[in-house]
Amino acid sequence: MAISLETPKKFAQIVNQAHQVSTEIFRPISRKYDQAEHEYPKELDTLAALIDGMNDGGEGGTGARGVRRDEAKDKPGNKNGSNMSSVLSIMEACWGDVALVLSMPRQGLGDAAIASVANDEQLQRFGGLWASMAITEPGFGSDSSAVSTTAVRDGDDYVINGEKIYVTAGGRSNAVVVWATLDKSKGRAAIKSFVVPKDTPGCRVERLEHKLGIRASDTATIIFEDCRVPKENMLGDPDVNDDTGQGFAGAMQTFDNTRPLVAGMAVGCARAALDEIEDLLREAGVEVDYDRPSYAQPAAAAAYLQLEADWEAAYLLTLESTWMADNRKANSLQASMAKAKAGRVGVEITTKCVELAGSLGYSENSLLEKWARDSKILDIFEGTQQIQQLIIARRLLGKSSGELK
C-alpha cells in the first residue's frame, strides 16, 4: 500500500490553523515564558478549549493519541486518521514553540495512556482530565521495567508509595498516570498504571525543576505516601499474568504513537531554525540555489543544503511511522527510527543554525538560541537516542530485551 507524501486535503485546514497559532500566539509570547520559568501561560486556556472542541468533533488536535489498535483493523483502504492530523499539526505548532505545546492542557502523554488502555467506563469517567505520565524514578531512567513505586491492594483500594521525577506538566495537570508494581518479584507483568487525581491525599508535588530549555513547560517531582486510590482507577487488567496487552505491554505500546509525535516536535522546531537561518543568509547576500551542486555554492549555503537533507529524512520517517499507526500496523521499529533520527538531527540543525548566524544566533535578539536549547530535550525524553538505537537493534536482529541490553 503506497504512502502519499502530500498533506491530506482533509487536514489542510487544521495544519493552517496550527501555523496561525504559532505565528500569532506562540511566537509573540515565546520569549516571555522562556524567561518567566514556571509561570503558567494563561493564553493557552482559550486555545485548549478550542482544541477540545476540535477533538470532540473528530478534527484532531496537537496532543498525543491513544493506541486502540483493535478499532477498524479490518476496514480496507489507506487511512490518514487522528495520528496523522496530530503529527502534522504538532509540527506546525512546534515551529512556534515546543514548550508551549507541552504546556497545553489535556494534550499530554498521560491522556494518551488513558486513551490506549482504559476500558469504556474509564474513558467516560476520566474524560476531560489533564493527565501527566509518571514513570521515571530516582533509581532508573530509560528502563521502564525497573519501576519500584509500589501499589498494594487494601480492600477496594490500592495504596501507592514511591517517588516519580521529571513528570512533564506535573505541577499543572489535575491527574497523574502512575506506573507502579503490584509485586516486584513478578517483573514486568506486575507493573500497572493508575489514574491518581492530584488532590488525592498522599499525592504531593515536591518541587519543579529548573531546566536548560522548554522552560515554559513545568517538570515536577511527585511524592506518593500512602496514597489511596479506588481499584477502579487501575488501567487494564489487575492480573499479573495478563497477556491481553492492557498491562505493561499495553502501556508501553502508547509510545508507538507518542514517539512519532516527539519526532514531529523535533521536525517542527528544526524547520523553524532552517527558515530563520535562510532569511538571515539571504539578508547577508547568501542565496541557496537548489539547481547547483553544493560544492559550487558558498560554504554557508552548502551547509544549509546538508541540514535540509537531514531534515527531510527525519520528516519522511516521521510520516511513515505515523501512517502505520493510523493503519493499525505494528510500528515500534519505525517509531523508534523516526524518534532517533529526528531527535538527533533536530539538535544538530538548531545548533548549526546558531553557528551560521554567528553572534546574532547566540543572542536573545533571535529565537535561534532558544530553539537550540529546547530541541535537546526532544532527543532525551520518551526514550533517549541510545535507547531508540537499542530498540531498533532488537527489532532488526529479532532479540528480546533480555538478550540484547
* Cα–Cα nearest to 327, from 26, 57, 80, 4: 80
Whole-angstrom Cα Rg for the chain = 21
Which DSSP letter does residue 217 get?
S
**Would residue 382 show up in a list of annotated catalytic residues for this protein?**
yes
> Cα–chain-centroid distance for residue 293?
36
Measured CA to CA in angstroms, residue 291 lies from 272, 305, 307 at distances of 23, 11, 17
Give the three cell numbers for residue 114: 488513558
Burial group, residue 403, by CB count within 10 angstroms (0-12, 13-18, 19+): exposed
The Cα 308–Cα 395 span in angstroms is 28
Which DSSP letter does residue 153 get?
E
Measured CA to CA in angstroms, residue 158 lies from 75, 182, 186, 203, 231 at distances of 39, 9, 18, 13, 6
* Cα–Cα nearest to 106, from 135, 82, 128, 83: 128
* Cα–Cα nearest to 306, from 353, 374, 239, 368: 353
Which DSSP letter does residue 24 get?
I
> Across the strands, what pairs with 131?
175
Active site residue: 137, 278, 369, 382, which one? 382
How many residues in the chain?
405
**Residue 353 identity:** C
Measured CA to CA in angstroms, residue 330 lies from 244, 256, 392, 398 at distances of 16, 8, 13, 14
Q: Which residues are catalytically annotated?
A: 382
